[in-house]
């Protein structure tokens, strides 16, 4: 969260005082980050000129400098309406050394490799492609920015709050006298997303102004900070269990963990928590926990709402590939809409680094003999196929080591199909699966564990996989295949015919080993004629129809075969998404979504795959893997999946919600909605009242109860919105996770923005409890 406020001009004396204070403030912030005296940070704080590159003809020298808060970078701009500009380190996705973005590769020479670097932002903000004056300067920038990003991410919630408020207070001190007038305090409150009545403000200011001078300074400002950051709800919980001289002993803490958090732990564990998280050394020496230590503990990853046991890889990864939900992207090359939006290798990099394990490549003949990727029959831009494969190779296994499926939609001539095969084989090398893993014809798909670090091609194949072991072959000139219905680009073609023949090169055909694309002709045909390595793709409305009317048949189909579901091409020109939950309920493994589009559906996708180490593979529940399963998500006949639970949720409070507008008087009026997404019987939504003019520390203390019948398929979503009585509410943040991965008790809930990126300081505080229904 940033303090968004334009600073007024200062007099010369004020500027000198400001600069002197700035050095002190910078030193304090560096110490907080553990980087005091770091040469890279000192370089960034002094600033330097960099060449900003936008095109072959647009290169401008601009001055960049890390500001005193050590989390904001200022750079000059020649735009008359925006003479100064900043960006927050918290908005940076990563920093890439060298010419490793499309822009730098295209618009700079190879000789600049050692001086070039790029700053990539979260969401849809454009990259910053930069060239330093020397190789040494470039290393300072890359190393310094990476250190700030890393060290900032390691700050505790309490440290983040202190750092943020400290710097907001600093900015609110307009005349740099280290004192705060009532006007400056009120402005500061607006900056941190709080508006109070005149009566309350007068009471607050007078309570802090112990010297009665009409100005706050020194310890009086600290009193203001303590009042603002006081967590009344934490004090109540702590007071209930702090039974040892007003503090919490290990036995008291164990009592809390067992009664409230429903954790199966012992006294040794409680003692270790005090040793690890207590901030007061005297209390720690007596094996006691203060309220500050208790709050510190509640902010630790192990104490958050997601079970730490589910954050790593905890599922069996040795089952056949079709037994897993697989995080999958549609039109991966697009950054925006699918009519005229840009195509970019960045789309693949972003999807893969978010754990996506199935990416789509729509390949067409390129004018210069090199195959290209774009959305056919549209105005979307084109990128070289070989550049995409190189990007996929470079980033496929940075987040997850489990296999990546390359979903090929090929519309090329025989010659360029051969090039496609050649590029994949030469670039991906031995990581590309080009033959079955064993020496004999397999009877089932291999497991994710067996395929670690490997690439699978999903595409059309001229013959059966069995022919690989019987030395049968075919030539491209002799055979053709019928295009499947998943060739979405043909939806945009005026000359589209339902049955369209495509000549297929043997070199490309032979790469489709475990994911041969075939047309779906009905469940009976698939049951008797379709092999385990043959998979069909379904338009969203066809798949939803099966999920609603033939769910059990669909489940049986997906027990031993892979299914891919994709959004309608003609119906979703803005790259919107459909609800994936009914398809997961029917056992569909590859539910492909537009990763480039922030939306509720992507929140659900991110939530499902947030467990199991975020590797992009989730083992389906047993009743979706069994051949004789009678499970039907619509009718819910009795079976082992029916586990009626009462799910109790108390929405208590929130902390540091982001401002949605830079206008000082624009304050959030937050409400919280709790949603259950799962089988139809479980799907439900309930929301709190809104709290007026307080996005900093609103409190609700509202209770909800939900009835869950198939908890293994349920996702829980917390949504924070800014209430608007005139128009629709504005999105503030959300968190989604599998119900089975949630921890009982008092838990902080991290919040994510619309792009699925963590809001560094914002959070909810809730109490949840699941009990068996009577």
Which residue numbers are catalytic?
330, 375
59 is in an annotated binding site: yes
| 601-102-327 Cα angle (round to 5) | 25
712 is in an annotated binding site: no
Closest CA relative to residue 345, chosen from 372, 379, 365, 369: 372
625 is in an annotated binding site: no
What is the DSSP secondary-structure string of 243-304? -BTTBEEHHHHHHHHHHTS-----HHHHHHHHHHH---HHHHHTTEE-HHHHHHHHTSGGGS
471 is in an annotated binding site: no
337 is in an annotated binding site: no
Burial track 159-168 (b if 16+ CB lie within 10 A, e otherwise): ebbebbbbbb
231 is in an annotated binding site: no
What six digits make up the tokens of 11? 């007099």
54 is in an annotated binding site: yes
360 is in an annotated binding site: yes
Q: How far is CA 32 from the centre of its chain?
A: 27
The 3-state DSSP class for residue 372 equals strand
Q: What number of helices (H) and strands (E) belong to the chain? A: 22, 32
362 is in an annotated binding site: yes
64 is in an annotated binding site: yes
For 109, left (φ over 0), alpha (ψ -120 to 50), or beta?
Answer: beta
72 is in an annotated binding site: yes
The 3-state DSSP class for residue 519 equals coil
With DSSP H G I counted as helix, E B as strand and the rest as coil, what are the percentages for the chain, rounded to 5?
35, 25, 40
53 is in an annotated binding site: yes
DSSP letter for 334, please: B
Alpha carbons 371 and 363: distance in angstroms, whole number: 6
Alpha carbons 755 and 763: distance in angstroms, whole number: 17
Alpha carbons 18 and 20: distance in angstroms, whole number: 5
113 is in an annotated binding site: no
Q: In terms of DSSP bridges, do strands 590-593 and 324-329 run parallel, antiparallel, or are they unpaired?
A: parallel
498 is in an annotated binding site: no
71 is in an annotated binding site: yes
Torsions phi, psi for 60 (to 5 deg): -130, 140
60 is in an annotated binding site: yes
CA–CA distance from 380 to each of 328, 392, 420, 567, 753 (Å)? 21, 20, 21, 17, 27
537 is in an annotated binding site: yes
73 is in an annotated binding site: yes
DSSP letter for 597, please: S
Query: What dihedral angle (degrees, nearest 10) is formed by the CA atoms of 526, 528, 531, 532?
Result: 80
Alpha carbons 649 and 651: distance in angstroms, whole number: 6
The C-alpha R_g of the chain, in whole angstroms, comes to 29
62 is in an annotated binding site: yes
75 is in an annotated binding site: yes
287 is in an annotated binding site: no
Tokens 């798949």 sit on residue: 543
Note whether 420 and 432 are within 8 A (CB). no
Note whether 257 and 265 are within 8 A (CB). yes
354 is in an annotated binding site: no
69 is in an annotated binding site: yes
With a CB cutoff of 8 Å and minimum separation 6, the contacts of 620 are 323, 324, 325, 587, 589
669 is in an annotated binding site: yes
β partners of residue 75 = 64, 85
387 is in an annotated binding site: no
Note whether 618 and 611 are within 8 A (CB). yes
β partners of residue 672 = 720
| 672-766-236 Cα angle (round to 5) | 125
Which residues contribute to the annotated binding site for Ca(2+)?
A: 331, 360, 362, 409, 667, 669, 722-724
Which residues contribute to the annotated binding site for substrate?
A: 52-79, 458, 460, 537, 564
Which residues contribute to the annotated binding site?
A: 52-79, 331, 360, 362, 409, 458, 460, 537, 564, 667, 669, 722-724
């Amino acid at each position: 969260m940033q303090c968004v406020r334009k600073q007024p001009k200062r007099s010369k004396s004020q500027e000198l005082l400001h600069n002197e204070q700035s050095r002190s403030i910078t030193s304090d912030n560096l110490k907080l980050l553990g980087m005091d005296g770091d040469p890279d940070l000192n370089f960034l704080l002094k600033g330097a000129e960099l060449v900003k590159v936008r095109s072959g003809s647009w290169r401008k020298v601009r001055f960049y400098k890390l500001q005193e808060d050590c989390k904001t970078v200022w750079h000059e701009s020649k735009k008359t309406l925006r003479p100064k500009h900043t960006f927050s380190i918290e908005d940076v996705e990563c920093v890439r050394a060298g010419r490793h973005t499309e822009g730098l590769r295209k618009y700079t020479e190879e000789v600049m490799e050692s001086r070039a670097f790029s700053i990539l932002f979260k969401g849809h903000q454009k990259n910053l492609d930069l060239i330093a004056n020397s190789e040494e300067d470039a290393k300072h920038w890359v190393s310094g920015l990476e250190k700030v990003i890393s060290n900032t991410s390691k700050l505790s919630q309490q440290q983040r709050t202190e750092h943020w408020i400290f710097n907001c207070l600093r900015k609110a001190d307009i005349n740099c006298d280290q004192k705060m007038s009532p006007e400056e305090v009120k402005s500061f409150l607006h900056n941190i997303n709080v508006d109070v009545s005149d009566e309350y403000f007068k009471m607050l200011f007078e309570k802090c102004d112990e010297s009665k001078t009409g100005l706050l300074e020194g310890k009086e400002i600290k009193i203001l900070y303590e009042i603002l950051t006081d967590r009344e709800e934490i004090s109540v919980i702590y007071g209930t269990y702090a039974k040892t001289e007003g503090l919490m002993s290990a036995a008291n803490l164990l009592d809390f963990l067992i009664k409230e958090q429903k954790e199966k732990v012992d006294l040794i564990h409680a003692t270790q928590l005090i040793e690890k998280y207590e901030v007061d050394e005297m209390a720690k020496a007596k094996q006691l926990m203060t309220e500050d230590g208790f709050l510190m503990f509640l902010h630790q990853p192990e104490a958050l709402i997601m079970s730490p046991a589910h954050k790593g890889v905890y599922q069996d990864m040795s089952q056949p590939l079709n037994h897993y939900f697989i995080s999958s992207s549609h039109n991966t090359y697009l950054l925006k809409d699918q009519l005229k939006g840009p195509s970019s290798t960045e789309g693949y990099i972003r999807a893969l680094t978010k754990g996506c394990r199935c990416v789509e490549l729509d390949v067409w003949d390129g004018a210069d003999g090199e195959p290209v990727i774009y959305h056919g029959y549209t105005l979307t831009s084109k990128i070289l196929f070989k550049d995409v494969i190189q990007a996929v190779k470079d980033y496929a296994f940075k987040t997850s080591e489990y296999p990546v499926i390359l979903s090929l939609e090929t519309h090329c001539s025989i010659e360029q199909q051969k090039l496609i095969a050649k590029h994949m084989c030469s670039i991906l090398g031995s990581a590309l699966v080009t033959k079955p893993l064993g020496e004999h014809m397999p009877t089932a798909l291999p497991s994710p564990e067996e395929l670690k670090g490997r690439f699978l091609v999903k595409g059309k194949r001229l013959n059966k996989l069995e022919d690989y072991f019987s030395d049968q072959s075919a030539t491209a000139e002799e055979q053709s295949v019928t295009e499947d219905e998943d060739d979405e680009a043909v939806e945009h073609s005026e000359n589209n015919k339902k049955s369209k023949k495509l000549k297929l090169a043997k070199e490309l055909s032979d790469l489709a080993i475990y994911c041969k694309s075939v047309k779906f002709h009905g469940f009976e045909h698939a049951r008797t004629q379709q092999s385990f390595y043959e998979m069909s793709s379904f338009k969203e409305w066809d798949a939803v129809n099966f999920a609603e009317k033939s769910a059990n048949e669909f489940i049986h189909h997906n027990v031993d075969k892979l299914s891919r579901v994709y959004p309608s091409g003609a119906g979703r020109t803005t790259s919107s998404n459909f609800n994936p939950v009914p398809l997961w309920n029917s056992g569909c493994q590859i539910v492909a979504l537009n990763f480039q589009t922030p939306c509720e559906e992507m929140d659900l996708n991110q939530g499902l795959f947030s467990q199991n180490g975020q590797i992009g593979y989730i083992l389906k529940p047993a009743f979706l893997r069994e051949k004789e399963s009678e499970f039907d998500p619509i009718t819910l006949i009795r079976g082992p999946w029916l586990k009626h639970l009462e799910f109790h949720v108390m929405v208590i409070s929130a902390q540091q919600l982001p401002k949605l507008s830079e206008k000082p008087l624009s304050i959030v009026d937050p409400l919280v909605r709790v949603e259950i997404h799962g089988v139809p019987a479980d799907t439900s939504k309930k929301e709190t009242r809104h709290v007026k003019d307080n996005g900093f520390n609103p409190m609700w203390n509202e209770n909800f109860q939900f009835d869950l019948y198939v908890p293994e398929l349920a996702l829980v979503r917390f949504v924070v919105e800014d209430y608007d009585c005139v128009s629709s509410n504005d999105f503030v943040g959300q968190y989604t996770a599998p119900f089975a991965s949630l921890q009982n008790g008092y838990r902080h809930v991290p919040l994510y923005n619309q792009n699925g990126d963590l809001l560094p300081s914002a959070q909810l505080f809730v109490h949840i409890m699941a009990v068996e229904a009577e």
